[in-house]
Homo-oligomer: A and B are copies of this chain.
Amino acid sequence: MKKATRTKLESQGWQVGTAAEFLGLSPEEAAFVELRLSLAEALRTRRTARRLTQAALAKRVGSSQSRVAKMEAGDPSVSIDLLLRSLLALGATPREIGSSFTRRRKRRVAV
């Protein structure tokens, strides 16, 4: 977002910031949800690269389509454990998974 846009919005009473700030998360909590979102994105990337449907992936990891959807959405009801198991089931190496911890996620919204 441009500085000017931000300034304009703020002058109109909007608050501009990250979701974490909005939710009042502590830095650790924020880092944790960022981690989950990174893995979620990695999962979707890997799945679509393989041209698998969520249902197909679900079958492969012994889960269900709805849970895969929640995984990829970064839903708070899904554990990191499940995300990691799913990534491993898609052939991701520990090295690749580790690097996704660092990688910045794509921006998803802009004002």
Show the binding face of A for B, using Cβ within 8 Å.
Answer: 28, 31-32, 34-35, 38, 79-81, 84-85, 88-89, 94-95, 97-102
Contacts and interface: CB of A to CB of B under 8 A. Distances in A.
A47 B108 CA distance: 36
B94 A31 contact: yes
A50 to B, nearest CB: 15
A97 to B, nearest CB: 6
A75 to B, nearest CB: 14
A12 B34 CA distance: 52
Nearest to A94: B101
A80 to B, nearest CB: 5
A43 to B, nearest CB: 14
Instruction: Find the residue from A34, A38, A88 having the highest chain B CB count within 10 A.
Output: A88
7 contacts: A28-B88, A32-B85, A79-B80, A94-B102, A97-B101, A98-B100, A98-B101
